[in-house]
């Protein structure tokens, strides 16, 4: 079986949010030189509003393990590791240990203190190695220098699930969507990967009959779109959260997002540590200065060490632009 050819033909992109071509990551890891190679399944799923990996681990764990074993065999890897958050570890540990028995795969429980940044792929590697849980400077990237300095393939739960389907010629170009917020039928749905947000909401019977907007890709880092901008696929981690325009006060939403990033910043780089602090200070002032907030988020995106700082502007700027439409009376 030529798994690279199959992955390339399927045009599978990583389901963790970044959307990097899966075949290319596998090929890079295969070609990298190292005494050993490792495979890591990232089951941290720390982005609020995203529950698809939990759904897959509950209903299709054997598929995930099969996808990992395909990677391990392809790379001739020494070991596979399932890096899983504490809540999922408590729920799925026994079943996963049963499935992985006699296989070169072990579970590693994400430390409870790791927070949101503990799910970033290089932070995952540091956690497994027992180091301070913070992002690594890149390059080099994990396919070249990962666990213990060796080439390491890191994919998330849904990616390995899809790999299993592709390898067995069962892939139908679908993906899992988490739908939540102000809706009747929240949950995880499987639909075509190229469906628009509007079609997903209508087919799941969650299209609102009230004025609304959505956040796509996660309740922290996801982009905010108004109801006229739904003619596009759900990007990133493919979650769709619905917000009633009447129910949610702008100042409360901005505070929620800024608080999240402030409390989950690892503090490694000055730009993110100080930037999120200043953002929190600005939004809690008696008269928030929107121009200052814009300046702060722009600085964060340009100078932060890792993806967390770079993600801060996404919900804030898209909400101000697409929903508030320049009306800054927050």
In a domain, 226, yes or no: yes
Query: What does the pLDDT look like over 95-144, one tens digit per residue?
Result: 999 999 999 999 999 998 888 888 889 999 999 999 998 888 888 999 99
Q: What torsion do the CA atoms of 203, 204, 210, 214 make, to the nearest 10 degrees?
A: -100
Residue 117 per-residue DSSP state: G
In a domain, 282, yes or no: yes
CATH number at residue 75: 3.40.50.11540
CATH number at residue 228: 3.10.20.600
In a domain, 329, yes or no: no
Does 159 lie in the same domain as 15?
Answer: yes
In a domain, 328, yes or no: no
In a domain, 330, yes or no: no
Does 142 lie in the same domain as 19?
Answer: yes
Rounded-to-integer distance, Cα 248 and Cα 327, Å: 15
Does 296 lie in the same domain as 155?
Answer: no
Give the number of domains in the chain: 3
Question: Do the bridges between strand 174-181 and strand 239-244 make them parallel or antiparallel, or are there none, so unpaired?
Answer: parallel
With vertex at residue 248, the alpha carbon angle to CA 246 and CA 253, rounded to the nearest 5 degrees, is: 150
The helix-helix angle for 270-283 and 290-303 (nearest 10°) equals: 170
Please, where are the H alpha helices in 226-311?
250-264, 270-283, 290-303, 307-311
Q: Evaluate whether 294 touches 275 at the Cβ level (below 8 Å).
A: no
Among residues 185, 209, 244, the one where a domain terminates is 244
Does 206 lie in the same domain as 268?
Answer: no
Does 135 lie in the same domain as 92?
Answer: yes
Among residues 190, 213, 244, the one where a domain terminates is 244
pLDDT for residue 328: 58
pLDDT for residue 119: 87
pLDDT for residue 131: 93
pLDDT for residue 170: 98
Does 15 lie in the same domain as 134?
Answer: yes
CATH number at residue 280: 1.20.1440.230
Q: Evaluate whether 308 touches 272 at the Cβ level (below 8 Å).
A: yes
Does 200 lie in the same domain as 149?
Answer: no
Domain region containing 303: 250-322
Rounded-to-integer distance, Cα 131 and Cα 213, Å: 41
Going across the sheet that includes 105-109, the strands are 105-109, 79-84, 38-43, 152-156
3-state SS record for 180-220: EECCCCCEEEEEECCCEHHHHHHHCCCCCCCCEEEEECCCC
pLDDT for residue 305: 60
pLDDT for residue 307: 67
Q: What parts of the chain have a pLDDT lower than 70?
A: 267, 301, 303-307, 309, 326-330
Query: What does the pLDDT look like over 200-243, one tens digit per residue?
Result: 999 999 999 999 999 999 999 999 999 999 999 998 889 999 99
pLDDT for residue 19: 80
Q: Evaluate whether 223 touches 203 at the Cβ level (below 8 Å).
A: no
Token reading at 41 = 């399944």
């Amino acid at each position: 079986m030529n798994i690279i050819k199959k992955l390339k033909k399927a045009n599978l992109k990583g389901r963790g949010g970044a959307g990097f071509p899966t075949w290319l990551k596998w090929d890079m890891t295969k070609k990298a030189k190292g005494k050993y190679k490792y495979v890591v399944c990232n089951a941290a799923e720390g982005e609020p509003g995203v529950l698809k990996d939990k759904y897959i681990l509950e209903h299709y764990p054997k598929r995930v393990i099969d996808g990992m074993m395909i990677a391990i065999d392809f790379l001739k890897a020494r070991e596979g590791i399932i890096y899983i958050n504490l809540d999922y570890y408590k729920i799925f540990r026994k079943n996963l240990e049963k499935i992985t028995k006699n296989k070169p795969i072990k579970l590693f429980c994400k430390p409870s203190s790791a927070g949101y940044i503990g799910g970033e792929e290089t932070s995952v590697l540091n956690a497994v190695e027992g180091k301070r849980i913070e992002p690594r400077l890149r390059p080099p990237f994990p396919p070249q220098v990962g666990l213990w300095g060796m080439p390491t393939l890191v994919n998330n739960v849904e990616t390995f699930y899809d790999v299993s389907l592709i390898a067995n010629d069962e892939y139908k170009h679908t993906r899992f969507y988490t739908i939540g917020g102000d809706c009747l039928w929240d949950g995880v749905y499987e639909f075509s990967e190229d469906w628009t947000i509007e079609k997903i909401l209508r087919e799941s019977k969650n299209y609102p009959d009230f004025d609304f907007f959505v956040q796509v890709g996660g309740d922290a880092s996801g982009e905010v779109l108004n109801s006229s901008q739904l003619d596009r696929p759900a990007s990133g981690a493919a979650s769709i959260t619905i917000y009633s325009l009447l129910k949610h006060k702008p100042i409360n939403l901005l505070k929620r997002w800024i608080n999240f990033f402030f409390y989950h910043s690892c503090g490694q780089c000055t730009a993110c540590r100080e930037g999120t602090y200043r953002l929190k200070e600005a939004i809690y002032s008696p008269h928030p200065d929107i121009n200052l907030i814009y300046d702060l988020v722009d600085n964060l995106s340009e100078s932060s060490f890792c993806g967390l700082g770079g993600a801060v502007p996404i919900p804030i700027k898209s909400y101000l632009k697409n929903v508030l439409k320049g009306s800054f009376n927050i």
